[in-house]
Amino acid sequence: MPTIPALLQAGPTYSLEFYPPRNEKGDRQLARTLDHLMPLEPSFVSVTYGAGGTSRERTEEIVHDIRSRFGAQVLPHLTCIGHTKAEIEALLRTYEADGVTDLLALHGDPPADGRVLPEGDFRYAVELVEFVRELTEFSIGVAAHTEGHPLATSREADRDHQAAKLKVADFAMCQFFFEARHYIDFMEDMAARGVTTPVIPGVIPVTNPAQTRRMVEMAGGTFPTELGARLEGAETPAEGRAIGVEHAANLARELLDAGAPGIHFYPMNRWMATTDLYDALGLVETV
């Protein structure tokens, strides 16, 4: 199975992100979503890793399930905050045994409930990248923040830090955003710093504007006022979904035209809007 960097070299990738559910209802929802979306044959799918490693076992289970049921390329997220080298190595060996070829190495967020984590053996994502390289042959991705990291002290410092991180990675992936200029400006800044690492932008077909706005604000991003007004003015869920899909499709086209090597979609463990988005982009084969 080719690695994600190899897929990117072959042409635009179209990938999906899923997260571990918190309860049985969520498990059923994810199972239905996978049944609907995996037949679309995404280039690869990613599975997130909860703050402080809270979803470690569930992430492993979902990665294994997708690999075994669908034979798909899976990109597990792996965070280093609060983890020892022994814990990380155990995860690496599990993923090797499952046929995984790529990892997304992240620092990770502290638990939302304020729980204090053990100190751990890593301070920065770059240290995790170096550790994984020493032990394995995985291709390694990192996170890119097109609108800047929320904890950055300045734009220039943030860009310098991100450039240093991207230079040691094989590829990078972005959280979702809503205007192509954020990605274009970011890539220009990275090029000026000598970065050639491919960066995959993130796109979400918004169906829940209030939830999405909260997520964007937590990540330090911006949510367009006009898009929010259109979504909130929708008279039916179907109308709102159509607005979200239209914006996402237009953004994806603009990003690809600007040279993006692929698009990473955020279905939020649901399928209808993403199915519509694949159709809008002409990615669904018709008989």
CA distance 172 to 155: 19
CA distance 273 to 107: 30
Q: What CATH number corresponds to the domain at position 258? A: 3.20.20.220
CA distance 206 to 274: 10
- Domain contains 199: yes
pLDDT of 220 reads: 85
pLDDT of 185 reads: 97
Query: 3-state class of 2 per DSSP?
Result: coil
Q: Which two tokens stand for residue 42?
A: 């995404």
pLDDT of 110 reads: 58
- Domain contains 238: yes
- Domain contains 9: yes
Span 45-58, pLDDT tens digits = 999 997 555 677 89
Among 19, 165, 186, 191, residue whose Cα is nearest residue 105 = 165
Active site (annotated) includes residue 17:
yes
- Domain contains 285: no
- Domain contains 16: yes
CA distance 186 to 188: 5
Buried b (16+ CB within 10 A) or exposed e, 149-160: beebeeeeebbe
> What's the domain count of the chain?
1
Q: Which residues contact 96 (CB under 8 A, 6 or more apart)?
A: 136, 138
Q: Which two tokens stand for residue 186?
A: 């970011």
Specify the pTM. 0.93
- Domain contains 287: no
pLDDT of 279 reads: 97
- Domain contains 193: yes
Query: 3-state class of 172 per DSSP?
Result: strand
CA distance 95 to 28: 24
pLDDT of 51 reads: 59
Q: Which two tokens stand for residue 153?
A: 């002290």
For the chain, the distance separating the N- and C-terminal CA atoms, rounded to the nearest angstrom, is 27
Sites in the chain below the pLDDT cut of 50: 286-287
CA distance 225 to 231: 10
- Domain contains 286: no
Bridge partners (DSSP) of residue 18 are 47
Span 239-260, pLDDT tens digits = 999 999 999 999 999 999 999 9
Which conformational region is residue 259 in: left (phi greater than 0), alpha (psi within -120 to 50 degrees), or beta? left
What is the rounded (10 degree) CA torsion for 131, 134, 138, 139?
80
Domain of residue 64: give its range. 4-280
Q: Which of 17, 96, 217, 226 is catalytic?
A: 17
